[in-house]
Amino acid sequence: MKLRPLRIGLIGQGFMGRAHSNAFQQVGRFFDVPFELRLQVLCGRDRGRLAAAAARWGWSEIETDWRRVIERPDIDLVDIAVPNALHAPIAIAATQAGKAVLCEKPMAVSAEEARRMAEAARKVRTMVWFNYRRVPAVAFAKQLIDEGRIGRVFHYRAAYLQQWGTDPSRPPGWKTDRAQAGSGALGDLLSHVVDLALYLNGAVTEAQTLQHTFQQGRDVDDATLALVRFANGSIGSLEATRYAVGCRNTNRFEIHGDRGMARFNLEDLNRLEFLDATEPPGLQGPRNLLVTGPDHPYWRNFWKPGHGIGYEHTFVAALADFLTALGSDEPFHPDFDDGLRVQIVLDTLADAARTGQRTPVALR
């Protein structure tokens, strides 16, 4: 069957530019996607690195001005992997030009900005790269929750822990500059935590927050810790820090209900712990499941059961699901409306930290 071409412009050549480029290259190898992807143009500000990056990742052309990518009639999809403050202007221009848009997280630097992006995108298809939804073990946890195997939830506990904040040799990049990033650990790391919390446990209704900056002179949070209530009656803690010495990239959650418990940590991403609390008490204990098939999400797409996958596959699977939805006009999540929901919670957490008050999450 001849596939429709989908011509892509990627804006950004950093860490995420590489992760996305790899996904564009790999997706058709692991998944039957309904498009033939054409890696048309890679756009970046650092011209010195751009040609080599484009050659390495298979992009046909290079460009240094994102506006010129959006003006091009031969681009169907714009992918945004640049500092957070640029997401809104690029996404809004791209949606107005009728392109499908993929955007890195956090989708925006404020809920107000995210709302403008979501509104501008009413007529086009969008995705926010909350890639951890597509870890097979996380998708499997969602399946167990939906099947009622956790039951009535009491606690949702999640943390995204990194340690690079303490590294004196690390150049002060855009991620610690409020003008470019909007926030620190809140947008960078807690956005993932909030997205997974909303996905797995539903709406957050109220929050209390503590934010802290360890590095003198830095204008963003190094750590954000929140206590929240969920609409389903459960309570939770959501934490993100760049100062968790000993944790390179820990992204974990635990969910405890009256029928069971599930526990995940990205540093061991092929595993999900599950406890079935309906079993006889003497037999209960967390099962350490190797979520690589059979009968697990994506197991037919990647390797045979027992052959683990890695970080990059989460981007491949997210892209595959998006392209499948795009080809069939089926709904896709997380889209810009989901990104907006995350941003509203993030803004509420920041407000709660500023005022020190218990703050309701208003769907503003």
For residues 37 and 128, which CB has a smaller minimum distance to ligand SOE in the complex?
128
Smallest distance, Å, CB 234 to ligand SOE? 25
Nearest CA among 353, 308, 322 for reference residue 134 = 322
Smallest distance, Å, CB 235 to ligand SOE? 26
Nearest CA among 100, 135, 123 for reference residue 326 = 100
Smallest distance, Å, CB 311 to ligand SOE? 8
User: Would you count residue 188 as binding ligand SOE (CB under 6 A)?
Assistant: yes
Smallest distance, Å, CB 247 to ligand SOE? 11
For residues 171 and 331, which CB has a smaller minimum distance to ligand SOE in the complex?
171
Is residue 13 within 8 Å of 46, Cβ to Cβ? yes
User: Would you count residue 79 as binding ligand SOE (CB under 6 A)?
Assistant: no
User: Would you count residue 348 as binding ligand SOE (CB under 6 A)?
Assistant: no
> Angle at Cα 304 formed by Cα 303 and Cα 309, nearest 5°?
40
Task: Tell me the per-residue interface mask from 232 to 251 with ligand SOE, x by CB under 6 A, - otherwise.
Answer: -----------------x--
Alpha helices in 131-229, H assignment, sequence order: 136-146, 178-181, 185, 191-201
Report the side by side order of strands in the sheet with 260-265. 287-290, 271-276, 260-265, 250-257, 153-161, 235-241, 223-230, 204-212, 359-360
Sites for ligand SOE among residues 154-173 (CB under 6 A): 162
In a 3-state reduction of DSSP, which class is residue 14? Answer: coil
**Kind plus residue range of the DSSP H or E element containing 257:** strand 250-257
Burial class of residue 268, CB neighbours in 10 A (0-12, 13-18, 19+): middle
Smallest distance, Å, CB 132 to ligand SOE? 7
Amino acid of residue 89: P
User: Would you count residue 292 as binding ligand SOE (CB under 6 A)?
Assistant: no
Q: How many residues bind ligand SOE (CB under 6 A)?
A: 4
User: Would you count residue 273 as binding ligand SOE (CB under 6 A)?
Assistant: no
For residues 234 and 343, which CB has a smaller minimum distance to ligand SOE in the complex?
343
Binding stretches for ligand SOE (CB under 6 A): 15, 162, 188, 249
